[in-house]
Amino acid sequence: MLANILTITKKELKSYYNSPIAYIVKAVFLVFMSLWLFTVNQFIPRGIADLRIYFMMIPYVFIFFIPAITMRSWAEERKMGTEELLLTLPFKEYELVLGKFMAAFFLLVIMFCASLVLPVSLSALGDFEWGQIIAQYIGVILFGGACISVGLFVSSLSRNQIISFIFSALTLFLIIIISEVNRMIELPLVIGNFLNALSFNYHFEAFSRGLIDTRDIMYFVLVSGFFLYLNGKVLVFRKWL
């Protein structure tokens, strides 16, 4: 089972790195985040050794970057007609789904490894709270995993990469910012709490501060698991159609 998943993961990672997408997404991400921090937010002149402003932007960046990674996963297979071929291979649906998920997830992790240069270089100017930075990285990785599973699911529903991108971005946008409604209008407590419970951003907030809360970990793990499960079911149901 694990061997099958790893085979798919390797194949997918190879295909990411054989296309310019992986490099472009990474480079654009790094340039954009640096611009956000140094130019838009004037991080160094402001003089506060706290990278929260950087990490709090990442959820919004994910709205565009994760769909860019996941849009081709299933949509392209369907468009090229390779999905049927994949489904006839001796892999189970969940192995295919997990393999694709792992590949996109590794891509994300590698992208964030490159971003580590930022806090390390900035530590020459001030004493950062490294525990907080570690929690922030754990948070974005879990957050990213959940976003990838949503993106993969949406991609599995579509034949067209662009449509997959747009719908993934819209879905992520809704899930990420849903708790912001609470800030804009005063809602009844039950509804407000419900919206918070659904929102990615709300569950990322504690990580951004340096706190690891099992509720947030479970939320991201369950959301990832749920969408990956749905993704697998889409493949199963499609077999019958």
Binding region for another protein (CB under 8 A): 17-18, 20, 22-24, 26-28, 30-31, 34-35, 37-38, 41, 44-50, 52-53, 114, 117-118, 121-122, 124-127, 129-132, 134-135, 183, 189, 193, 197, 205-206, 209-215, 218-219, 222, 225-226, 229, 233, 236-237, 240
Q: Which is nearer to another protein, 18 or 88 (CB)?
A: 18
Cβ 117 to another protein, closest distance in Å?
A: 5
Terminal Cα distance for the chain, rounded? 26
Cβ 227 to another protein, closest distance in Å?
A: 11
Tokens coding 88: 């006839």
Tokens coding 23: 């490099």
Cβ 160 to another protein, closest distance in Å?
A: 26
Q: Which is nearer to another protein, 8 or 111 (CB)?
A: 111
Residue 152 CA to residue 150 CA, distance in Å, equals 5
Q: Which is nearer to another protein, 85 or 187 (CB)?
A: 187
Burial string for 99-137 (b: 16+ CB within 10 Å, else e) reads bbbbbbbebbeebeeebeebbeebeeeeeeeeebbebbb
Q: Which is nearer to another protein, 73 or 224 (CB)?
A: 224
Residue 15 CA to residue 106 CA, distance in Å, equals 13
Residue 19 CA to residue 2 CA, distance in Å, equals 26
Q: Which is nearer to another protein, 37 or 148 (CB)?
A: 37
Cβ 96 to another protein, closest distance in Å?
A: 17
Residue 188 CA to residue 195 CA, distance in Å, equals 11
